[in-house]
Structure 1
Amino acid sequence: MRNSRILLLCILGAALLSSVMSNSSAGGPDECCFKYYPRRLNKNLIRSYYMTDYRCSKTGAILVTQKSRHICVDPSLSWVETIMRSLDEKTF
């Protein structure tokens, strides 16, 4: 009787541990913008961009420079929209 309880506890512990381990990677977004870069950037220095995850508290665009630096900017600014539009047109 005692052995069956220990076995049951071990199985229950393993099940709980596996569920915690599988959910640890789905906890949240990998990259969010908490502060925007304050100055305007030259569009010739930007190689690409991507948007932050919808789960981030601030919507942000991350501009990737020619030297592979990732810079968070406000996507609603006109100069950022111009850069994103220009990069989108280059891909077509």
Structure 2
Amino acid sequence: MSESRTGFNLTENEREYIDGIVSPLLLKGQSIRHITINHSDEIMVSDRTLYKYINNSLFSARNIDMPRTIRMRPRKNKSKSLKVDKECRKGRT
């Protein structure tokens, strides 16, 4: 099981093939969703997987080449609510 978590399940030839399709289109300004819809028979990975590959710099196109990704700020973590002891509510009704 630990072998499946050691990295990306992608050979060098597959990486170069997908990079040859995705990177030029990203540099032209197309979104990853648009690329996966139009080239789904060639790419054979989901758009979420492509985002992971690009964020980890596996392709020649980088994260900075996607304008929406750069505009968006990272999401803030919501603070956890305080847990109230429910025993203190007994006898109030």
Which structure has the bigger radius of gyration?
1
Question: Shared fold (TM-score greater than 0.5)?
Answer: no
Q: Which has the higher strand share?
A: 1
TM-score (norm 2): 0.29
